[in-house]
Structure 1
Amino acid sequence: MTSPLNDTDRRLVEAASELLIRTHDADLHRVAAAARGASGQIYLGLSLRSPRVSVCAESTALANARIGGEQDIEAMVAVGLREDGTTVILNPCGVCRELVPAVAPGIRTLADDGGHPVWVTAADLLPMPWVRARSYD
C-alpha cells in the first residue's frame, strides 16, 4: 500500500468528484468513479440504481475505458458525496473487488484508510480471490 498522491492522482480524484457533484441524484447516481488508462486518458463512470438492480460506478468507468479502446487500465478511484456537499473516497464493494481485477489485473485502486487515501492492489482488496468449486458427483 502506498499513499502519497501526485498531481496525476489528484486529477483522477478531481475528475470523479466533478462528475458526481455535477450529476448527483440520490435516487440514481450516488457514486462516481474515474479510471486512468496507460495512455493517461481518464474514463468516467456513474453508479446506476433502480428498485431492483444497481450497477457500480467502477464497472461503468471500466466499460467506458474498454469502449474507448484502452487495454491497460492502471488506476481507479470512486467517490461519494457527504452531507456538506464535499466528496469522499469510497472503498470498493465486494462485487467490485472481484470484478475490477478480472477486467484490469494490474490496477491500483485509491482507497480510504481511516481518512487517508492509500493506493492498494487487487491482492490487498481480495487476498483470496474467488475460485470455482469442484463438482462433487
Structure 2
Amino acid sequence: MRFADLDSGDIALFTRADEVLTKAHHPQRHQVAAAMLGASGRVYVGLHLGSRRVNICAESSALAAAQIAGEESITTALAVCLGTAGTAQVTNPCGVCRELLATYCPDAMVLLDVEGTVRKAAARDLLPLPWLRPEETDWAAALPALRNDGGR
C-alpha cells in the first residue's frame, strides 16, 4: 500500500471530527466521529450510533450526509476515537466502512493510523480484494485446485 503525507487540510478535517466527538462522546453510544471533505469544499460529519445490539459507524453516517446533500465526490475522509489519554486520535475504518468508502469514493484519501503515525492512502487500497458476485467480475469463476508451483 502506498501512503501519502498529510497537509494542512487534513489537520483541519481532524480538528472538525475532534470537535464533533468532544461534543457528543458517550462511552457506549457515541465512541467515534468522522469527517469527510467533499470536492465542493463542504465538510460532512458523522457520529457513531450504538446500542446494546446495533452499531452504526461514524464513517457511514458522514458518507450518508454527503450523499443526501448531493456531494459529487469525497476527497478526504477520517474517523477519530478517544485515545487512552482522553484525546482524539485517528482510528482506522472497519471492514464494512472500507467497503463503503471503496464503493462510494474509491479515489478519496483516508487518514490512517499506521503503527502510530498518521498517514493517508486511497480508499480503493484499503480493501484490496473486495467482495463481488461472480457476475460482477471480468474473469471466469474456477473451482479450487491444488497448485504445484509452491504458491508462486
Q: TM-score, normalised by structure 2?
A: 0.83
Q: CA separation of 1:83/1:10 partners in 2, compared to 1, >3 Å: closer, same or farther? A: same
Percent of aligned positions that are identical: 46
Query: Shift of residue 94 of structure 1?
Result: 0.8
Alignment-derived partner of residue 61 in structure 2: 60
Alignment-derived partner of residue 100 in structure 2: 99
The answer for unaligned runs of 5 or more in structure 2 is 136-152
* Count of aligned positions: 135
CA contact (8 A) 1:48 1:57 kept: yes
The answer for unaligned runs of 5 or more in structure 1 is none
Distance across 1 between alignment mates of 2:62 and 2:78? 10
CA contact (8 A) 1:45 1:64 kept: yes
CA contact (8 A) 1:3 1:117 kept: no
Alignment-derived partner of residue 125 in structure 1: 126
Answer with 67-76 or 38-47: which moved more.
67-76
Give the structure with higher Rg (CA).
Answer: 2
Query: Shift of residue 115 of structure 1?
Result: 1.1
Query: Shift of residue 131 of structure 1?
Result: 1.0
Q: TM-score, normalised by structure 1?
A: 0.91
**Letter of the structure 1 residue corresponding to residue 128 of structure 2:** P
Alignment-derived partner of residue 9 in structure 1: 10
Query: Shift of residue 83 of structure 1?
Result: 3.1
Alignment-derived partner of residue 36 in structure 1: 37
Query: Shift of residue 133 of structure 1?
Result: 4.2
Higher relative contact order (CA 8 A, sep 6+): 1
Query: Shift of residue 2 of structure 1?
Result: 3.1
Distance across 1 between alignment mates of 2:103 and 2:124? 12
Query: Shift of residue 40 of structure 1?
Result: 1.2
Distance across 2 between alignment mates of 1:4 and 1:99? 23
Query: Which digits, 9 at most, give the CA deviation of each residue in 1:61-104, with x for residues without a partner?
Result: 00111122211111100000023221110011011111112122
Alignment-derived partner of residue 22 in structure 2: 21
Distance across 1 between alignment mates of 2:120 and 2:62? 18
